[in-house]
């Protein structure tokens, strides 16, 4: 018989699977410059092959997707 813990575990597994399937997977050649005009650091280009955004632009984009508004 399923209890609250089982239901919570199922929900966590579904949310994790959804988050993993929605993540951006980069591949290919990394850009040298972000669309915001900033240079993409060598460390970021090596760590995330195929990256197109600098870390600052990527963080702001992620916040916008989550509905966070900044002044």
Is residue 15 situated within a structural domain?
A: no
pLDDT recorded at residue 65: 84
Domain count within the chain: 1
The per-residue pLDDT for range 3-34, each reduced to its tens digit, is 889 999 999 999 999 888 887 777 788 999 99
Residue 14 covered by a domain: no
61 lies in some domain: yes
Domain assignment of residue 60, given as a range: 25-71
pLDDT given at position 25: 74
**Residue 58 included in any domain:** yes
Which pLDDT does position 1 carry in this prediction?
61
Q: What is the pLDDT of residues 33-60, one digit of tens each?
A: 999 999 999 999 998 889 999 999 999 9
49 assigned to some structural domain: yes
DSSP 5-71: HHHHHHHHHHHHHHHHHHS----SPPPSB-TTSPBPPHHHHHHSTT--S-HHHHHHHHHHHTT----
Give the pLDDT of residue 27: 75
């Amino acid at each position: 018989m399923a209890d609250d813990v089982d239901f919570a575990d199922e929900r966590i597994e579904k949310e994790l699977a959804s988050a993993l399937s929605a993540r951006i997977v980069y591949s290919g050649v990394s850009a040298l410059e972000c669309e915001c005009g900033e240079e993409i650091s060598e460390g970021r280009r090596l760590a995330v092959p195929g990256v197109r955004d600098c870390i600052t632009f990527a963080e702001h984009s992620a916040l916008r997707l989550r509905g966070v508004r900044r002044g």
